[in-house]
Copies of this chain bind each other. A is one copy, B any other.
Amino acid sequence: MVNFADRMDGMKVSDIRELLKLTTRPEIISFAGGLPAPELFPVEDIKAATDAVMDEQGRAALQYGPTEGYLPLRKKIVERMEAKNAIHTTPDNIILTAGSQQGLDYVAKLFINPGDVIIMESPSYLGAINAFNAYQPKFVEIPTDENGMIMEELDKVLATTENVKFIYVIPDFQNPSGRTWPLERRKKFMEIINKYGIPTIEDNPYGELRFKGEYQPALKSMDTEGLIIYMGTFSKIMAPGYRIGWTCANEEIIEKLNLIAQAAALQTSTIAPMIIAKYMDMFDLDKHVDKIRETYKHRCELMINTMRETFPPEAKFTDPDGGLFTWVELPDYVNTRDLAAIALENNVAFVPGSGFFPNGGNNCCMRLNYSCMPDERIVEGVHRLAEVIKAALK
């Protein structure tokens, strides 16, 4: 009876999501989510910061606030991007969003007419595919290797494709692959997008979570043409529960995103950015991030080492330098959706890889998360998964 908009045809409940609902059962060892380790959340410190905000500015914290977000936090973000990413910018180039996810939605809303082309790494972040999908684009995937996007392929596509609205990339510890672009690729990428004048979303939720290898500068730090739309978040370095991320872009784009944000939600939380700013005043966020890095380094090494010991040689997997995920490729006759169902029967969960490919296919991959499981469950889960994989091999 009710007649929904055409865009809803592309937005269906995925079978993966239904599968994942089962992973909340306590007996399940889940490598499926992308959750930060909750035992590391600085609960007491955040409570102290919250009390200080309520004591000092309670009424302002509970009132409406500006669409672009609390200025003192935007200033701190500018300082942090300068210190951590060598990005020079100003608070006027920043809008706070409900996690980076809302930034993805807003940028999609800003650029995409139905049928426009969006370029993504193959594979790429499932949540970005979902956010963009609501605006009915065509997706073009650029092949990747162990060093991320293959730049020659990108150049070829841009030379021959019309209506490309933007490129979406995660150069650091990519979700889902865990891969990082080396410096040469970053330089080459900037050359290419400058040549074609194509705006690019650089999504960097994990950049500060490097636990080995060499620091790589953000694309945004090399952006001479104002083409990079950079996204950051407090979800992985502090806590996701407040839903505070940010988008940093040229002023024309920020002004448009402000219009979109005001129409879509008026603003993000007033109080949450005040708490985060106060926490950063009262406590040492860098020290906290060090703790997260150490923990994830340990868990990642434990998972990768256990996989090396137990997985059959047919299973190839990445060895990330940071972030939350590793990526497994099995022989192409294995369907990881079927495998996920079998794994669940054995009380271990992962996300099948096909959802990370904007145009589907690629059924033989899986994403594994190591950030939020204790040691013994990582070891036990990998052992179980190894058995499930071995049984699926011919």
Contact = CB atoms under 8 A, between A and B. Distances in A.
Contact of A62 (B4, B43, B255): B43
A241 B102 contact: no
B5 A112 contact: yes
A272 interface: yes
A50 B43 contact: no
A46 B12 CA distance: 39
Contact of A38 (B5, B36, B60, B265): B60
A131 B264 contact: yes
Interface stretch (A51-59, A296-304, A355-363, A382-390): A51-59
A11 B5 CA distance: 20
Contacts of A252: 2
A109 B5 contact: yes
A215 interface: no
A143 interface: no
A268 B256 contact: no
A260 interface: yes
A13 B259 CA distance: 7
Interface in A300-355: none
Contacts of A260: 11, 134
B63 A240 contact: yes
Interface in A111-147: 111-113, 116, 127, 130-131, 133-135
Interface string A252-285: 1101100110111111111110000000000000
Interface string A200-243: 00000000000000000000000000000000000100011111
A307 to B, nearest CB: 25
Contacts of A22: none
Contacts of A13: 255, 259
Contacts of A135: 5
A197 interface: yes
A256 B25 CA distance: 25
A6 interface: yes
A47 B55 CA distance: 9
Nearest to A133: B263
B98 A263 contact: no
A61 interface: yes
B51 A47 contact: yes
A4 B197 CA distance: 14
A110 B127 CA distance: 18
Contacts of A102: 264-265
A256 B8 CA distance: 8
17 contacts: A1-B197, A2-B197, A2-B253, A8-B110, A11-B256, A11-B263, A13-B259, A41-B63, A43-B54, A46-B58, A47-B51, A47-B58, A50-B51, A63-B239, A63-B240, A134-B260, A241-B270
Return the 7 tightest CB-CB contacts between A and B, nearest first: A43-B58, A62-B239, A241-B270, A62-B241, A38-B59, A130-B263, A47-B54
Given A43-B58, A62-B241, 15 more contacts: A7-B109, A11-B259, A41-B58, A41-B62, A46-B54, A47-B50, A47-B54, A99-B265, A101-B264, A134-B263, A134-B264, A241-B271, A242-B269, A243-B267, A243-B270
